[in-house]
Structure 1
Amino acid sequence: MTDTPAPSLTSSLHRPGQILLLSRASGESLIDQIVRTVAARIDDRLLRAGARMPSIRQFAAANGVSAFTVVAAYDKLVARAYLESRRGAGFFIRERAPLNAPGTADAEAMNFSAGVQPGGGMDVVWLIRNMFRATANLQMPGTGVLPQDWLDGPAIANALRAISRQNSNLLLNYGVPQGFLPLRQQLQHKLAELEIAATPEQFVTTSGVTQALDMVAREFTRPGDTVFVDDPAWFLMFGSFAALGAKVVGIPRLADGPDIAQLAELAAIHKPKLYVINSVLHNPSSTSLSAAKAFQILRLAEQHGITIVEDDIYCDMHPGSAVQPATRLASLDQLRRVIYLGGFSKTMAANLRVGFIAASPELAERLADRKMLQTLTTSDIGERVVYKILSEGLYRKHVERIRSRLDGLRARTVRQMERVGLKVDVVSPAGMFVWADAGCDTNVMTEHALSENLLLAPGSLFSPNQLPSSRMRLNVAAMQDPAVWRFLQRELERLA
């Protein structure tokens, strides 16, 4: 071990996207917030073994807390084997033992980092539970779906009626494990437009992208393996991966893709099995991957033996590369090291739960077998509905209308966000999300919003470490109610 000082919390934990944001109104003590933040940085190797922590006085001054708070936090970190105290020299970061299988103390920490907060509170399950609350008056500016009146209910109803007139025996049997063949043939044409070559045998239909991610994770990971995700990223997968015994590590996401230096460094340390990424219209920022970053990601994946899982669920909200640059890893790799995921829950109907996996022929066959063991088949009826809408040309016009409506709202909505006190540093020219900075702990804001029947999506939920955040995801299509703006302006003024 060396006596090299650890990067201070100013240089390490206060880097962009890694702010140590202590909240006195979050319901969690300052001591526990410090312990959780420092432990997460050590787990992710952002603070290195053997390095010296800032002195108690330095830490207290830099973070606006008392020396007593720092002493108590450091003592807890020593008790949990994150730090060691050396008499007369200070506190040093200990070498962490390898991740154990679920059921050990490390498994508890793994669940914690995936958003399962001990004793309940605001976590991924909290947000999803409230999304499904049967409350007609609940406004959801943080939602990940479009308002119902943006979707084409009549097209789905007509497709269902047409299917009901077919031979009823077709609707009474199991579907095909790999998925409804005409739909897979239609998906072949859809991916060809994205310059991804795939035969119908390379597709496996799923119950949405959620099941697709779970199937891929079960195929590739074992307890103790590491999975990379963007940070921030779609929160639901954090808990899903941790439940499989995987360690979830976040790669800082920038405006044009991941931080390549961090990706390279962490890949060498963790040797991940998978890296899950939104190349196009990243959730929650709606930014897209640059071509340069795409090539660098594939090079690192080849070097470290990483399988890339490209989640392209927001694909159809992008106007296409002829209008705006859009680089997909699957189009560069042609499904050799990249597994491509897509679906229609965001643009057609969440209730249809129709998604798909595109992969190499050998992997698609294995995933179809795994799907059989899990659920036998997916709903043939939903797949027939999606096929009919796609094959009749209705879908293309529908998504053009969605993109046009989003384009008409985006700039105006962002200007209104800035007027009420939100900071928006990156505005994507496509997509429905804005990753806004409120300048305060958005967990606190979210709790207040729920009491007024508003559901926000605080930034802490989008990080695998669940650290307090001043960010939140806002959906420009779901912010048209004046009550949303009145709340935001009042709350931001109060918390300023």
Structure 2
Amino acid sequence: MTNTQLPTVAAGLLDRDAGESLTDQIVRTVAARIEERLLRPGGRMPSIRAFAAAHGVSAFTVVAAYDKLVARGYLESRRGAGFFVRVRPGAPLAATPAAIEPAQQGLDVAWLVRNMFRQLPHQQMPGTGVLPAEWLDGAAVAGALRHVTRRQQDILLNYGVPQGFLPLRQQLQLKLAEVEIAAGPEQIVTTAGVTQALDMVAREFTRPGDTILVDDPAWFLMFASFAALGTRVVGVPRLADGPDLARLEELAALHQPKLYVINSVLHNPTSASLSAAKAFQVLRIAERHGITLVEDDIYCDLHPGPAVQPATRLAALDQLKHVIYLSGFSKTMAANLRVGFIAASPELARRLADRKMLQTLTTSDIGERVVHRILCEGSYRKHAERMRARLDGLRARTVRQLERLGLRIDLAQPAGMFVWADAGRDTNVLAERAMAAGLLLAPGSLFSPNQLPSRCMRLNIAAMQDAAVWRFLERELA
């Protein structure tokens, strides 16, 4: 492309009164013209000096714009020759939501997780495990991020601390005290969400061939994660008030497991909570058989408190002697922050901090500072109350609609985002049909370590408000 073609590159390009920077205006307009094929693939762009002179901007602005266009795949830089429109495949570079991925060899955990990350509209994903983005407090997160980076810009350039940002751990000490768990900052280790916390604990306590007990049903991702470590994952039937104690005793004696991972509060996928009587018995069985209990309390802030729904935490009864407590903020603050934590005995916390250091050095200090800022500002408690109120406003109505369609919900709970619904048929088949209709369901088979066909499925009531979901269910369940 010669300089005489400059008007085709940037005619009417710049608006100095716009809120957008000159660099970003250049990037946006040039990218659009490349996508529209107004600038031909392989064509030479004006030189930096020529572009700057033609549009009355500095060479620095043009360099920054060209560099961004190169980074985004629109231009290529040829040493000594200049910048050229990149010859690209026919597909546009603009990001578009990917379609739900078909199951190639039947549904499995990896299939569900991949499709949960397809960035589809939330209302098309009743099988998802998160709340809609508009339910979360994006303004608080953005404000905290601005505050953190404005005050100490050098934190963007350095490592954090292996055990985690100390002021956050001090704040978590207060948060744990609210649920009657006494833990000093030295007993808390931050993690990249509960997912990393579970992996760290499993690696610390087990070796290939060891057994880990989990609830059945339970959160599906840990099944594959634990199996990848070479451990055997065995399910304990979960009832309305906790595990089947007789079966837990039997499996403990048979397999001599190293760990038992349990949701005491707002169990995933049923939203049921552990009763006090069951909690005491679980602790006694674990003590008899030398099992370390791992309590995953990721839905802690969606629980309204014991006045509404009884809830007993094992860590509150045991005070972290034989219980490891896990929680985080991905469900209620921002999934992308990936800030979770482990609370354990002082000795175990030190070992886990060392393990974390050897695996990943540290977690994101920026994310931990953002979470600390939000917790300290005092607005998070009201934010959690608003989320619970929105769920409360949807739950009874959604359950009634599901029951009118013929689904049976034996464990309808007064809290949480999930319902565990019996569709009366193989929900793998139902999920495949939903997939063909552009909807994501979470079939019950994926929530059991044995992965056998199930009539149940997990439904997120916050993602059940789109008419297309109800039309699909009415058509398929008629």
The TM-score, its normalising length taken from structure 1, stands at: 0.75
Stretch deviating more after TM superposition (163-172 or 323-332): 163-172
Are the equivalent residues in 2 in contact too, given 1:449–1:456 (CA < 8 A)? Answer: yes
**Alignment-derived partner of residue 175 in structure 1:** 160
Distance 2:121 2:225 in 1: 29
**Alignment-derived partner of residue 220 in structure 1:** 205
Distance 1:137 1:292 in 2: 38
**Alignment-derived partner of residue 139 in structure 2:** 154
Are the equivalent residues in 2 in contact too, given 1:420–1:485 (CA < 8 A)? Answer: no
Matched residue type, 1:149:
E
**Alignment-derived partner of residue 448 in structure 1:** 433
- SS of corresponding position for 1:204: strand
Matched residue type, 1:465:
N
**Alignment-derived partner of residue 240 in structure 1:** 225
Distance 2:399 2:170 in 1: 40
**406, 409, 413: which one pairs with 2:398?**
413
Matched residue type, 2:421:
A
Are the equivalent residues in 1 in contact too, given 2:308–2:414 (CA < 8 A)? Answer: no
Bigger Rg, which one:
2
Q: Does 1:379 align with 2:368?
A: no
- 1:324 positional shift: 2.7
Q: Indicate how the Cα distance of structure 1 residues 477 and 135 shifts in structure 2: closer, same or farther if over 3 A, else same.
A: closer
Matched residue type, 2:462:
A
Q: Indicate how the Cα distance of structure 1 residues 126 and 200 shifts in structure 2: closer, same or farther if over 3 A, else same.
A: same
Q: Indicate how the Cα distance of structure 1 residues 261 and 426 shifts in structure 2: closer, same or farther if over 3 A, else same.
A: same
Q: Does 1:362 align with 2:350?
A: no
Are the equivalent residues in 2 in contact too, given 1:257–1:290 (CA < 8 A)? Answer: yes
Q: Does 1:141 align with 2:160?
A: no
Where does structure 1 differ by over 3 angstroms across 4 or more consecutive aligned residues?
Answer: 134-138
Distance 2:219 2:122 in 1: 26
How high is the sequence identity, in percent, across the aligned residues? 78
Q: Indicate how the Cα distance of structure 1 residues 137 and 423 shifts in structure 2: closer, same or farther if over 3 A, else same.
A: closer
Distance 1:339 1:199 in 2: 14
**Alignment-derived partner of residue 376 in structure 2:** 391
- SS of corresponding position for 2:458: strand
**Alignment-derived partner of residue 423 in structure 2:** 438
- SS of corresponding position for 2:412: coil
**334, 337, 349: which one pairs with 2:319?**
334
Matched residue type, 1:414:
V
Q: Residues 194-244 of structure 1, C-alpha deviation per residue, up to 9 Å, x if partnerless?
A: 000000000000000000000000000001100000000000000110111
- 1:323 positional shift: 3.5
Distance 2:429 2:105 in 1: 15
**239, 254, 264: which one pairs with 1:254?**
239
Between Structure 1 and Structure 2, how many residues are aligned? Answer: 376
**295, 315, 336: which one pairs with 2:300?**
315
Distance 2:270 2:336 in 1: 25
Unaligned segments of structure 1, at least 5 residues: 1-117
- 1:130 positional shift: 0.8
Unaligned segments of structure 2, at least 5 residues: 1-102
Q: Does 1:197 align with 2:187?
A: no
**Alignment-derived partner of residue 410 in structure 2:** 425
**Alignment-derived partner of residue 290 in structure 1:** 275
**332, 341, 345: which one pairs with 1:347?**
332
Alignment of 1:98-109 (within 5 A): none
- 1:452 positional shift: 1.1
Are the equivalent residues in 1 in contact too, given 2:190–2:340 (CA < 8 A)? Answer: yes
Distance 2:117 2:350 in 1: 35
The TM-score, its normalising length taken from structure 2, stands at: 0.78
Q: CA RMSD in A?
A: 1.2
- SS of corresponding position for 1:165: helix
Matched residue type, 1:448:
R
- SS of corresponding position for 1:292: helix
Are the equivalent residues in 1 in contact too, given 2:123–2:466 (CA < 8 A)? Answer: no
Distance 1:120 1:489 in 2: 27
Q: Does 1:132 align with 2:113?
A: no
Distance 2:152 2:194 in 1: 30
